[in-house]
Amino acid sequence: MKQEIERKFLVTGDGWRKEAGAGISCRQGYMTVGPSNVTVRVRLLGEQGFLTIKGPTRGVSRSEMEYEISAADAEYMLAHFCSGGLVSKARYNLIHNGSRWEIDEFSGENAGLIVAEIELEQEDQPFEKPVWLGEEVSLDRRYTNAALARKPFKSW
């Protein structure tokens, strides 16, 4: 079982854009966000579909299992199985001083929100923060994609 250790930050300015490649369209929805804090997500990232199950979050860590599914299955699940709203964004990947960053530029009801994430091997692993990083929001649950599907950024 994979352990996801992730730190999340707001992005300030456009300095990251010169380091990023082309963005990939991403739509995702949630089938379960229950009292057990287990999340079941379906995602269409470009032309690839994924089904992901995430366990409860403890600090910046949580267990995660992800499976590739067909794009057609992902489209069907997004249309018929997901409760709450869908999250739409462009995802950019970039390497900054040896660290891989994913930057999500949200659209739709979450337009105006840009978040950068870094996955780590250990919770206390050091990394260099790019100048375009703003406030850390790793522990603020409002910034999880599941929360943004239920209560979009524009409604805050």
Q: Active site includes 143?
A: no
Q: What pTM does this model have?
A: 0.93
Find where tokens 């910046």 sit: 60
Query: Of 30, 67, 92, 143, which one is the catalytic site residue?
Result: 30
Asked if the model's pLDDT at residue 1 lies above 90, the reply is no
Domains of the chain: 2-155 (2.40.320.10)
For 6-45, write each residue's pLDDT tens digit: 999 999 999 999 989 899 999 999 997 566 788 999 999 9
For 64-118, write each residue's pLDDT tens digit: 999 999 999 999 999 999 988 999 999 999 999 999 999 999 999 999 999 999 9
- How much is the pLDDT for 35? 67
- How much is the pLDDT for 34? 63
